[in-house]
């Protein structure tokens, strides 16, 4: 089993879509929201996902295909 900490960033087009529900329903992935800041037209969610590594990869691809920006929860640390 693998675990990833993600930051999902939603724009106006996605903010009303239940993508985290879909992620758990369409894939063998357990989702766990830790923190979030969502307004009417944008927002972010810090999400832990657990599952087999290949399944997690597929889940992330799915989120990106739906137009959600997916980043590591800790932000970009490359310097």
Partner 1 sequence: MAKLLGLRCRECEAEYELQATHVCEMCFGPLDVVFDYAALKKKVTRDRIAQGPASMWRYRDLLPIEDATPVVTLGEGFTPLVKADRLGAELGLRNLYLKNDSMNPTNSFKDRVVSVAISWARANGFETIACASTGNLANAVAAYAARAGLECFVFIPVDLEPAKIVSISVFDPNVVAVRGNYDEVNRLCSQLVESTPWAFCNINIRPFYAEGSKTLTFETVEQLGWKLPDEIIIPIASGCQFVRHRQAVRELMELGLVREDRVPAFTGAQALGCAPVYNAFNSDTPERVLPVRPDTIARSIAIGNPSDGMYVNRIALETGGVVEAVSEEEIVAAMRLLARTEGIFTETAGGVTIGVLAKLARAGRWKGDEVVVAYVTGHGLKTADVLAKVDGHARRVEIEPTLKSFREKVNI
11/25 with CB nearer partner 1: 11
- What torsion, rounded to 10 degrees, do the Cα atoms 67, 56, 8, 37 define? 140
- C-beta closer to partner 1: residue 3 or 25: 3
- Residue 29 within binding range of partner 1, rule CB under 8 A: no
Residue 7: closest CA among 68, 59, 57: 68
Taking the complex as a whole, how short is the minimal distance between the CB of residue 34 and partner 1, in angstroms? 5
Nearest residue to 44 (alpha-carbon basis) of 77, 79, 19, 78: 19
- What residue ranges bind partner 1 (CB under 8 A)? 2-5, 7, 9, 34-35, 37, 42, 46, 48, 69, 71-79
């Amino acid at each position: 089993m693998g675990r990833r900490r993600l930051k999902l960033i939603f724009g106006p087009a996605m903010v009303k879509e239940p993508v985290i529900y879909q992620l758990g329903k369409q894939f063998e992935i357990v989702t766990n929201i830790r923190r979030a800041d969502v307004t009417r037209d944008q927002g972010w969610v810090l999400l832990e996902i657990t599952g087999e590594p290949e399944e997690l990869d597929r889940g992330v691809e799915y989120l990106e295909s739906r137009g959600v920006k997916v980043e590591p929860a800790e932000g970009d640390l490359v310097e």
